[in-house]
A and B are shown apart, each in its own frame.
Chain A
Amino acid sequence: MKPDFDKILRPADTARIESAIRHGATRRELLGMLLAGGMGAAMAGTVLGSATKAYADTPKKGGSIRAAGYSSGTTDTLDPAKQSLSTDYVRCTSFYNGLTSLDDKLSPQMDLAESFDTKDSVTWTVKLRKGVTFHDGSTFGPDDVVYSLNRHKDPAVGSKAKSLADQIGEVKKSGDNEVTIVLTGPNADLPVILGTFHFLIVKAGTTDFTTANGTGAFKCKEFQPGVHSVAVRNENYWKGTGPYLDQVEFFAIADENARVNALLSGDVALIGSVNPRSTQLIKQAGSFDLLTTTAGNYTDLNMRLDTAPGSDPNFVEAIKLLLDREQIKTAIYRGYAEVANDQPVPPTNRFYNADLPQRPYDPDKAKSLLAKSSLAGTRIPVVASTAADQSIDMAVLLQQSAAQIGLDLDIQKVPADGYWSNYWLKAPICFGNINPRPTADILFSLLYTSNAPWNESHWKSERFDKILVEARKERDDAKRKEMYGELQKMAHEESGVAIPVFISNIDAHSSKLKGLKPMATGGMMGFAFSENVWLEG
């Protein structure tokens, strides 16, 4: 959005004109200024045209908004390590910074770090940014990084990123503005991992998270778990640009209808996660825009391979063929989804394997496979829950397809309450819901390796594990792409996880709210909208 006429005008002129436009100078006054600067009249007119247009899209300072997410409760936290809901991500990204942050292609950009250096992907030297202060006025330094990273490894903290952090062997201060991180094994993706939400940097020694003391664009004025938070502009923010808004009040409205109505009535300026069925209503209302993000989260069908009926490969393949992905995309998601291919790496990822043939909807083939499996005629339970987004509707569609070939699926709807600890990973056939992860490595090591904590289908493949470790070490991207491509193929063919579609997240906002764009890290601009948006008019 930066005006591109800097080349024509001297910086001083740009600043003067920009300031004049902001203060409401008329066109005649501006022309006068340009002409006085020695520019020809025709040229001045052109420049001015593009200038006013560009400045119309140029961030404006000031104003405050109310924004509503979709999940909130007493678990709401300002502790980056414990974040679990989108609401936490929104708050923490506005109060804290990470060493790196992830851009729209999931590549790491330097934030509190100035550089990451390594020779072997095991020992990393991280240079830190100078002159950054926390909200309480103290200076940011290596001790804060050491403290923030080590916290995750302490089980008593209850960090959500513990399994990721366990690969960090040691973090130590190695200079006034430098830390050294030694990993337990090589991982070329460290700068990406440290750009994820849970690794935001807190002040060394912080144990009380009733308020937030970070380096972020906003200061925490008020925070009540399950109620709301009020963030006010950090005047000393180390990034010169933002934030533009004076204040952001954030809370969650769990009911989707109520959320949309709150937007339409003008009570809030931005809402997260809109049902595709509400998009028409929002468009009709006129003064609202939609923000669609396909980040790679999915609801998947898990068939345990170590127990009946998933222990029969014919059955697993038959079920995968029975998923009518196009129908799921259109009927359930109203088109706001992308057909997936039973492997977790989304097309936005640079290691996505585009050559893998798409598994079709093929009831006939499923029927012949099923005939071999001796399962036809039995009633097979499928566990679904509102906890796994849209899984009940998916189960109903699958049940219909299965009925056509004589397979009787018994949908067991179970409470969302306690679903993840009681049914997921336990029931022979159930649904899961996976949030996007920044790297193929994280996806596979969390979900697919033999010892993965969330090995959804209890799939064990030594070859898979081996290739993954090699890919992690490999620093040649072409070779990595090949390796990850092979892993995707294996997951697609052998695992008991069926991934029908990648779900698009839809947010909606007042047209006056500018600066929003989709980010691969999640909805609401990777949950980090506060710092990047401004109010128009």
Chain B
Amino acid sequence: MTKHTDTIPETRRRMLGAGSLTISVVGAMCFCIILFWVVIALIGPWLAPYPIGKIVSMDVFTSPSRDYLLGTDYLGRDMMSRIILGARYTVGVSIAAAFIACTIGVALGMISAVLGGWFDTIVSRGIDALIAIPHLMFGLVIIAAIGSSLPVLVGTLAFLYFPGSFRIARALAVNINELDFVQVAKARGEGFFYTVREEILPNMIGPVLADFGLRFVFIVLLLSGLSFLGLGVQPPNADWGALVRENVSGLAYGAPAVIMPSLAIASLTISVNLAIDNLPRRLRDRLP
């Protein structure tokens, strides 16, 4: 889009126009929420009122009180401390994994689309084969073969989600590759990487970012599944998804122990996605 932003036609401007002020308001709010969680993740250990594994109350699934602002969990531990200390896993691990997955997926997808031919076939079909391996089995094999640690967790999540990213990116790039300005650039004798970086990527960045946002959501959710297996986050620590899972029997009582971590997840994932939707057009174009 670099070459066309200056000449946005009237219709486009009208379509964008109506809410251009509120865009930044919603976007800014989302950024604030993300920033908030990132800060919590960084300084969590100094903020948490109680040790994460300590049973502070004989009552379980309690409502918020002065001592325990977000109530207590299924064992009587302070929910607020657990959410604060869980932030680093959900925020940190998920963003890292989503970033790695999308970078690899998009890069491979674009290269495959532009090169085409045998390279495309081999990479595409190879990745099809990867997708067919069940997540659960893959997680178990990783634990058995490599063991459990946070880097392994990030790597596993990225590995499980890059194939999806690849498919979407490739499909986008194939379409763009056929457009006139790309063909013109190629005819002009521009190099392969120039074409990919300057012509293809800027023109598919919208859907790619949307895909990143979604993949982030999926990774946040799968994270709890893998930590349930024992890959990565070790007790008494727990990521937010795991907090929801371990307290799910409080659902029937409407316990904050299950609702609060769900809200934390939702606030983060919604913010990431809406922030992407509301990125200023110009910024988006220059991102790569």
Q: So, do A and B actually touch in the complex, CB under 8 Å?
A: yes
Contacts from A to B (Cβ < 8 Å): 256-257, 260, 275, 277-278, 280-281, 327, 330-332, 334, 384-386, 392-393, 395-397, 399-400, 403, 410-415, 417-418
- Whether B249 contacts A393 by the Cβ 8 Å rule is no
| Binary per-residue interface labels of chain B (210-240) against chain A in the complex, 1 for a CB within 8 Å, 0 otherwise | 0000000000000000001111001110000
- Whether A415 contacts B140 by the Cβ 8 Å rule is yes
6 nearest CB pairs, A to B: A413-B230, A396-B236, A396-B53, A414-B230, A415-B229, A277-B249
| Contact residues of B between 164 and 196, Cβ < 8 Å to A | none
Please tell me which one of the listed residues B53, B74, B229, B253 contacts residue A400 in the complex, with CB atoms under 8 A apart. Answer: B53
How far is B230's CA from A384's CA once the two chains are assembled, in angstroms?
Answer: 9
- Whether A257 contacts B248 by the Cβ 8 Å rule is yes
Ordered by A's residue number, 9 sampled pairs between the chains whose C-beta atoms are within 8 Å are A275-B249, A332-B75, A334-B60, A395-B235, A400-B55, A403-B51, A411-B236, A412-B234, A415-B143
Contacts from B to A (Cβ < 8 Å): 51, 53-55, 58, 60-61, 74-76, 140, 143-144, 148, 228-231, 234-236, 248-253
Across-interface contacts of B144 in A (CB, < 8 A): 418
How far is B52's CA from A403's CA once the two chains are assembled, in angstroms?
Answer: 12
Please tell me which one of the listed residues B54, B58, B252 contacts residue A281 in the complex, with CB atoms under 8 A apart. Answer: B252
How far is B228's CA from A522's CA once the two chains are assembled, in angstroms?
Answer: 28
- Whether B61 contacts A331 by the Cβ 8 Å rule is no
Given contacts A331-B75, A393-B75, A415-B230, contact A277 B60 (CB under 8 A): yes
Across-interface contacts of A396 in B (CB, < 8 A): 53, 75, 235-236
- Whether B235 contacts A397 by the Cβ 8 Å rule is no
- Whether A327 contacts B55 by the Cβ 8 Å rule is yes
Q: Looking at B76, B143, B148, B236, which has the most chain A CB atoms within 10 Å of its CB?
A: B236
Task: State the total of A-B contacts with C-beta under 8 angstroms.
Answer: 68
- Whether A277 contacts B74 by the Cβ 8 Å rule is yes
Across-interface contacts of B229 in A (CB, < 8 A): 415, 417
- Whether A399 contacts B252 by the Cβ 8 Å rule is no
Given contacts A257-B251, A396-B53, contact A277 B235 (CB under 8 A): no
How far is B231's CA from A411's CA once the two chains are assembled, in angstroms?
Answer: 13
Given contacts A275-B249, A277-B60, A277-B249, contact A413 B53 (CB under 8 A): no
Q: Which residue of B lies closest to A282 (CB)?
A: B252
Across-interface contacts of B252 in A (CB, < 8 A): 257, 260, 278, 281
Across-interface contacts of A399 in B (CB, < 8 A): 53, 236
- Whether B250 contacts A384 by the Cβ 8 Å rule is no
Q: Which residue of A lies closest to B236 (CB)?
A: A396
How far is B58's CA from A300's CA once the two chains are assembled, in angstroms?
Answer: 23
How far is B58's CA from A280's CA once the two chains are assembled, in angstroms?
Answer: 16
Q: Looking at B143, B248, B249, which has the most chain A CB atoms within 10 Å of its CB?
A: B249
Smallest CB–CB gap between B215 and chain A, Å? Answer: 25
How far is B255's CA from A281's CA once the two chains are assembled, in angstroms?
Answer: 13
How far is B236's CA from A393's CA once the two chains are assembled, in angstroms?
Answer: 8
How far is B234's CA from A327's CA once the two chains are assembled, in angstroms?
Answer: 22
Given contacts A412-B234, A413-B234, A415-B230, contact A330 B58 (CB under 8 A): yes
How far is B39's CA from A234's CA once the two chains are assembled, in angstroms?
Answer: 68
Q: Which residue of A lies closest to B74 (CB)?
A: A277
- For the complex with contacts A278-B252, A399-B53, A413-B234, 20 further pairs of A-B residues with Cβ separation under 8 Å are A257-B252, A278-B249, A280-B253, A281-B253, A331-B76, A386-B228, A396-B53, A396-B235, A396-B236, A400-B55, A411-B235, A413-B148, A413-B235, A414-B148, A414-B230, A415-B143, A415-B230, A415-B231, A417-B140, A418-B140
